[in-house]
């Protein structure tokens, strides 16, 4: 029987970026959260893949976590 994977989502604003490590810090009403984003898991609202260096502080994003895989969708760029 397959194990169910926990799915969590959060929405927030990018407050910190580390391009070398692929770390993105997102600030929301629950506080700050750090995520490691792989380039293949980063997209815009149309589903187009974007590069990590295209992200800017203040971008509104949606983070989805399934198991150990984190994907990020940019909802609104500044």
Sorted by where each starts, the structural domains of the chain and their CATH numbers stand as 7-76 (2.40.50.320)
Per-residue pLDDT tens over the stretch 19-65: 888 888 889 888 888 888 877 888 988 889 888 888 899 999 998 88
Measure the CA–CA gap between 17 and 22, rounded to whole angstroms: 8
Q: What is the pLDDT of residue 58?
A: 93
pTM: 0.77
Residue found by looking up tokens 């490691």 in the block: 36
Distances (CA, A) of 59 to 4, 25, 30, 66: 32, 11, 17, 22
Q: What is the DSSP string of 28-78?
A: ETTEEEEEE--GGGEEETTS-B--GGG--TT-EEEEEEETTEEEEEEEE--
Helix, strand or coil, per DSSP, at residue 25 = strand
């Amino acid at each position: 029987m397959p194990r169910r994977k926990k799915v969590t989502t959060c929405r927030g604003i990018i407050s910190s970026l580390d391009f070398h490590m692929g770390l993105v810090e997102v600030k929301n009403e629950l506080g700050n959260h750090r995520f490691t984003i792989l380039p293949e898991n980063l997209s815009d609202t149309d589903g187009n893949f974007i590069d990590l260096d295209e992200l800017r502080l203040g971008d509104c994003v949606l983070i989805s976590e399934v198991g150990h895989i984190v994907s990020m969708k940019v909802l609104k760029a500044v």
